[in-house]
A and B are shown apart, each in its own frame.
Chain A
């Protein structure tokens, strides 16, 4: 737990993105349909589609509610402000906007945050902080809300989870770097903006199997299992890629990376070191990998494998598959 040299605000500060509008050069502002703003997933999806081919500027309407004690006369906080901050690490973008009270009690606030398409690459984070003057010091952060939103400028569906980028390509005829994998059914590429899977269409029969919708029971079962296996490999690959490229502080503390690398680590670390908090777990993993820990890197592999297969749903799919196979064999016998 962090210790602060001043009184912090406890209690619930709720906030949300109410709506979004987009502007194309030389056109008036246009509302974004509410289906692109998900309060459940806390994602605003502003990716291009037929409704909105190309926008240059977006405007988000935000609202927040403060607990009563934040604005009580007797509180230790003066000049209480609610500030929304949009950040994206890939573009080093940071935009802050102060919300304004809409009623006299000062507990309900709204504001508008403007963002420019040319400043954003793919997914920005939106967070809300409560700031006040405490003990004569201006600008103290007295609360930061747990709930972050994402503003996604690539996807068109407001979903927190990102779809894997899966492409079917012929390895023999494709880019030279794929040619050396021509006998492999698929490869995982973790060097891009998001992890990608390339499925080899030159691998006989694979395209039909993976791309097919229907098929008989056996085909379906195999496809499911193959997809799950692929996912598990992706999770293993992205984990190794993320942990192999950590930034290390001067005192040797590894930092959580930004982007998907950080998300992957935060998702998998609790399964690898269930009894540690994420920062601690990351330090331990880094120590194991660099050979400065009692636990060797080799000993960690089964845990990484377990975490990856759990993420990919291998145990669930496999048990379904086994059941399906039993049923299929019974059918054959009959």
Chain B
């Protein structure tokens, strides 16, 4: 199995897309080879910042603990997502501008923790290349960070845990731009938390309906969010200099931003519930048909 890189420098770096390609070997994607860490670190670029949040060691430790957490608890690798997403977000303390650089995520996947990517995403003896270098909703670490960023409610990461515990939310909802409206994202998580939607087909049906409805209905108007302030985020980033390592037991606290207005979230929960009741869910009608047959038997 792919192991931890033999060389780990002190600071994280950027591995541009063009450079990352040459490390995506067949052997790595099959989980058989390690990454050539010395060679890799020769082509990385330095981070645009030099503060302590750029230290490599805390990130490496966190990822190892995520694997240990699953192994110790007898959990599946997919269950690492809900544990790691909020903690990774709180450990990295990035702005969205910084997080939009794919080179950062390429470096985490290839330079810091290729063993994690293989452990988490190996299926049918192969890891899809976009788990190492890919779009934000596919790449092994970018998807966790963006899930945490888009589903957190201000400083509260608990909606992130709910969202990441459902692989269908991660696979379907995360790539849709409707969730860039905070109250919409919160309403969807609440429907998952309440158990209104659980299966993959239900998530797909709901997301399809929410997306289609957004073409004629402006959620920003029926469920307004508070005005965005960047100060709490920038303060939180500055605190990284003195912050302790993120807790392995407790959920960390995110930037002290204003929470999503409750009225807006509950308005959308009601609206989405109605949409979902009318949405065609693949298999739902079939189930009804089967029940009907059973009754006549």
Report A's interface with B, CB cutoff 8 A: 2, 4-6, 56-57, 81, 83, 85, 87, 89-96, 98, 114, 116-121, 129, 131, 137-141, 175-177, 189, 191-192, 247, 250
Contact = CB atoms under 8 A, between A and B. Distances in A.
Contacts of A83: 218, 220-221
Residue of A90, A92, A131 contacting most chain B CB atoms (<10 Å): A92
Given A93-B180, A94-B180, A116-B230, A85 B97 contact: no
B19 A118 contact: no
Nearest to B101: A121
B230 A118 contact: yes
17 contacts: A5-B216, A57-B230, A92-B149, A92-B150, A94-B180, A96-B221, A96-B225, A116-B230, A118-B98, A118-B233, A119-B228, A121-B101, A138-B221, A139-B217, A141-B215, A141-B216, A247-B175
A120 B96 CA distance: 7
Contacts of A2: 215
B177 A121 contact: no
Interface of B is mostly: helix
Contact of B97 (A121, A141, A189): A121
Given A81-B221, A177-B22, A92 B230 contact: no
Contacts of B243: none
A52 to B, nearest CB: 17
B43 A139 contact: no
Contacts of B225: 96
B218 A118 contact: no
B216 A250 contact: no
A191 B221 CA distance: 37
Given A121-B97, A138-B222, A191 B181 contact: no
Nearest to A120: B97
B250 interface: no
Contacts of B218: 83, 96, 129, 131, 139-141
Contacts of B230: 56-57, 116, 118-119
A190 B136 CA distance: 17
B219 interface: yes
Interface in B254-273: none
Contacts of B199: none
Nearest to A5: B216
A114 B227 contact: yes
Contacts of A117: 97
A191 B17 contact: yes
Contacts of B222: 138-139
B18 A118 contact: no
B88 to A, nearest CB: 17
B228 A114 contact: yes
Contact of B96 (A93, A114, A131): A93
Contacts of A247: 175
A114 B228 CA distance: 8
A319 B221 CA distance: 55
B100 A121 contact: yes
Contacts, number: 101
B89 to A, nearest CB: 14
A192 B233 contact: no
B17 A175 contact: no
Contacts of A90: 100
B177 A87 contact: yes
B185 to A, nearest CB: 10
Nearest to B237: A118
Contacts of B221: 81, 83, 96, 98, 131, 138-139
B75 interface: no
A163 B111 CA distance: 32
A140 B221 CA distance: 9
B97 A91 contact: yes
Contacts of A56: 230, 234
Given A116-B230, A119-B95, A91 B217 contact: no
User: Which 4 interchain pairs have the tightest Cβ spacing?
Assistant: A191-B17, A118-B95, A96-B220, A139-B222
Given A129-B218, A139-B217, A191-B17, A92 B177 contact: yes
A177 B19 contact: yes
Contacts of B280: none
Contacts of A96: 181, 218, 220-221, 224-225
Contacts of B181: 94, 96
B16 to A, nearest CB: 7
Given A81-B221, A175-B43, A89 B228 contact: no
B282 to A, nearest CB: 10
Contacts of A189: 18
Nearest to A129: B218
A192 B18 contact: yes
A191 B17 CA distance: 6
B220 A191 contact: no
B276 to A, nearest CB: 17
A141 B217 contact: yes
Interface in B150-196: 150, 175, 177, 180-181
B204 interface: yes
A147 B180 CA distance: 22
A304 to B, nearest CB: 23
Residue of A89, A114, A116 contacting most chain B CB atoms (<10 Å): A116
Contacts of B16: 191-192
A5 B215 CA distance: 12
